[in-house]
Amino acid sequence: MLGGVISGVSVNSNRRESNAPPQNAYRRTRRAIPRPAARRRAKIIPMASLRQPPAAPLRDRKVKADMGLLLTTICLLGIGFIMVFSASYYDTVSENIYYYLQRQAILTGLALAILIGGINIPYSWLRRFRSIDKQILLVTGVLLAAVFALPEKSDAHRWIPLAFGFNLQPSEVAKFTVVFYLASLFSRRRSGINTLSGDLGKALLVVGVAAGMIAFEPDTGTAFVLAAAAIAVLLAAGLRWVYLFLAGGAGVIAGVCLILRSPYRLDRVLGFLDPWQDPVGNGFQIIHSLYALGTGGLLGAGISNSSQKLILPAQNTDFIFSVIGEELGFIGAGFVVILFLIFTWRGYLIALRCPDKFGRLLAVGLTTSISLQAAVNIAVVTQSMPTTGITLPFISYGGSSLLMSVVSVGALLSISRYRPAADKPSHGAAAKPPQGKTGGKAWASD
């Protein structure tokens, strides 16, 4: 009996041992059990990626163009269309009193077409022209050199004759192309802006050659505006202020040399300092410009009722602001100044809002070029600086100045429509660049 009990216990124990899992099998089973999510090792994300949002793909969202800039430009074009006819209908090159009106109507129509194109052209298309920026600059240099091979017109080499009596002024083209080249140059590279052996040396060479050729046409005012717009681009790209002071000193020295070596420039400076010393010579334009502004009063004499435009030289180009002051008065002239101030504000606001470096630099340069040109023209008319042959943007008669100014506005409108494509990553997940044929290279880079 005792043997049967012992044999039963041994049998039961053997059954328990056979049912118990082996130790190695338990370990394998434990390893196969997935770890809880809370115990998983968290992925380390660099702090820099948390502070800086990921770059956005360079795609245009369908946003509205800057309507403030567009409406301001249209207002200036409308004022110019009316005032060009009012200032020049009696002084035509033919018996047709509508000669300037008809030509200005053609130019204004082309300008409106360019504005419509600027609104509808995506910024990404404009950015593609960076690949041929050197070729564009080379063509501009050829045009600037070509004017010296042509006969003088009004004692200057400024224009290239075209069909139907129109002329091309390469210096107006250069103001746009030089700014475009500088924006393209400094948007591609992150270093070299403060090194003469790097991009700064290239930029100074381009600006010096272009401004020098324009100054020897001679066209000192346009050369000054081009150099100032280039400096604005350099400062926006990160140029140190010490280089600005050095460039300003070099510019002052170059300007003094040009004045001393050119009798007509010296006469203009003397006429600016004391126009009454030679009232029928060097001070003639300034004196009658001040007469026009003074007789306009508060409300002006009315459209086409100016008397000084009968004897004032360049009354429909360089001194059209004097005619505006006489016919529209202080209110009309002040309204024009306010429009240019609004234009400047909207242009720089577009630059600040643009997330792409090329667009920012281009907007800064183009806005500075147009705004400074308007300021120089008004300063000349009001005897705030010596006389220089420079037009009032959008208002003065002149095809090259008008069309290139509107081309600049078209570029600004295109830049204003650019916004980075909206990426909304989920909470706790970092946005990933679009993977495709470009391998993430389509991201906008600063």
Question: pLDDT value at position 423?
Answer: 40
Helix (H) or strand (E) holding 237: helix 220-237
| Res 7 pLDDT > 80 | no
**CA 259 remoteness from chain centre:** 30
Chain segment 200-229, per-residue pLDDT in tens: 888 999 999 999 999 998 899 999 999 999
Rounded-to-integer distance, Cα 246 and Cα 241, Å = 9
Take residue 143 and report the two structure tokens written for it: 């045009």
pLDDT band at 426 (very low <50, low <70, confident <90, very high): very low
Most confident of 337-341, 354-358, 389-393, 395-399: 337-341
pLDDT digits (tens, 9 = 90+) for 138-178: 999 999 999 999 988 877 889 999 887 789 999 999 999 99
**Whole-model pTM?**
0.80
**Cα separation values, 424 from 59, 207, 429, 430, 432, Å:** 15, 43, 10, 10, 10
Helices 220-237 + 241-261 axis angle, to 10 = 170
Element (H, E) at 7: helix 2-19
Backbone angles phi, psi at 167, to 5 degrees: -130, 150
pLDDT at 322: 95
Q: Closest Cα to residue 250, out of 222, 212, 280?
A: 212
Percent of the residues in the chain that have a pLDDT greater than 90, as a whole number: 50
The amino acid present at 59, given as its one-letter code, is R
One-letter amino acid at 69 equals L
The residue to which tokens 């999510």 are assigned? 37
| pLDDT tier, 435 (very low <50, low <70, confident <90, very high otherwise) | very low
404, with CB counted inside 10 A (0-12, 13-18, 19+), is: buried
Distance of CA 143 to the CA centre of its chain: 22
pLDDT at residue 152, as a whole number: 86
Instruction: Answer yes or no: is pLDDT of 33 > 60.
Output: no
* 443: helix, strand or coil: strand
Average pLDDT over residues 54-77: 77
Q: In the structure, how many helices (H) and strands (E) does the chain have?
A: 16, 2
- Contacting residues for 252 by C-beta, under 8 A, at least 6 apart: none
DSSP summary character for residue 57: B
* 195 vs 216: CA distance, rounded Å: 29
Q: Is the pLDDT of residue 133 over 80?
A: yes
User: What are 256's two structure tokens?
Assistant: 């003094």
What radius of gyration do the chain's Cα atoms show?
A: 34
Contact 327, 304 (CB under 8 A): yes
384 Cβ contact list (under 8 Å, min separation 6): 378
332-339 contact pairs (CB < 8 A, 24+): 332/296, 332/300, 333/293, 333/296, 336/76, 336/79, 336/395, 337/378, 339/72, 339/75, 339/76, 339/79
Tokens linked to 226: 């081009």
227-239 pLDDT, tens per residue?
999 999 999 998 8
Q: Out of 17-26, 105-114, 287-296, 327-336, which region has the weakest mean confidence (pLDDT)?
A: 17-26
Arithmetic mean of pLDDT, 41-62 = 46
DSSP H helices in 280-395: 284-296, 320-353, 357-381
Q: What is the model's pLDDT at position 264?
A: 81
More reliable by pLDDT, 89 or 184: 184
Cβ-proximal residues to 73 (8 Å cutoff; 6+ apart), any chain: 115, 343, 394, 406, 409
